[in-house]
Each structure stands twice: as structure tokens, then as C-alpha cells.
Amino acid sequence: MEITGRLTADATVHKVGENKEVVNFSIAINDSYKPKGSSEVKEVVTYINCSYWLNSKTAQWLKKGALVQLFGRIGLNVYSSSDGRALGSLTFHTNNLKIIVFAKRTEQSQSSGTTIPTKQGMKEEPTDDLPF
């Protein structure tokens, strides 16, 4: 199965057992539709919790706002609440991922970048924004 969405927060790494780590993150999938007989477009956002067990170092690239394409399978977690109700949640168990668009850098990392010297009447621009 394949899903594509944007990360809602930075990925986190959790230690499981003595020598295993899992990368946990959540993505948002935006969709829209027009109900029959209506001219108004409805926006729908679906949030999916995801886990990635293969390489915990991947978490450094999974930042809020990144657009990712995930391949894997859906898992179901079923549990009972404190008042005895049966509850469940879905988790997408990722076995392959592709970062389509990296998250924007924070202001702090942008301000530490090198800059192009300015010419008279031109603004100073970071070198990372060059088109080549």
C-alpha cells in the first residue's frame, strides 16, 4: 500500500528492548470533494500515525512539513479504555519511504548560512537559494 502526506511534527525515535529502535511520526493527508447537488467544496484531512523500524537515523530528515511517500501495511491496535470501552487505532507500518519535499529550514539555520555580497541597490540573499 502507498500513501503520501505531510509530517505533522518532527519524527521521534523510541528505544524498544535493548537494541531496537522505532521511528514514530504522523502524517496528514489532505483531500477535497464536492457533495452531490452542492457547489461548495469540502476539505477533509486524515491523520495517520506511522512507524518505521528499519533505520532510526532516518528521523533526522523527517521534520514537520516534509512531504513523504510511504510504502507499507496498515496495522490495528485494539485496547480497552479505563471505563471498559473497546477502542482502536490504525498505524501505518512503513517498510520504505521517500522524502518528496524536505521541510523548510528554521530561521536559526537560515541566519547562519553564508550570503552573497550585495551590489548597490540589491538585497542580500543566502547562497542556498541559488537556482543552480
For 87-97, what is each residue's pLDDT tens digit? Answer: 988 899 999 99
Candidates 103, 125, 123, 99; CA nearest to 114 is 125
116 pLDDT above the threshold of 80: no
* Ramachandran bin of 58, using left for φ above 0, alpha for ψ from -120 to 50, beta for the remaining angles: alpha
Contacts of 23 (CB under 8 A, 6+ apart): 11, 12, 13, 51, 52, 53, 55, 56, 58, 59, 62
Write out the residue range of the structural domain in which residue 109 sits.
2-129
20 pLDDT above the threshold of 80: yes
Confidence of residue 115 (pLDDT cuts 50, 70, 90): very low
Secondary structure string (H, E, C) spanning 24-93: EEEEEEEEEECCCCCCCCEEEEEEEEEEECCCHHHHHHCCCCCEEEEEEEEEEEEEECCCCCEEEEEEEE
For 77-86, what is each residue's pLDDT tens digit? Answer: 899 999 999 9
Looking at the DSSP bridge assignments, the partners of residue 29 are 46
- Structural domains of the chain, count: 1
Count of residues making up the chain: 132
Strand bridging mode 42-52 / 86-101: parallel
For 22-60, what is each residue's pLDDT tens digit? Answer: 999 999 999 999 989 888 999 999 999 999 999 999 999
Q: What is the CATH number of the domain that holds 47?
A: 2.40.50.140
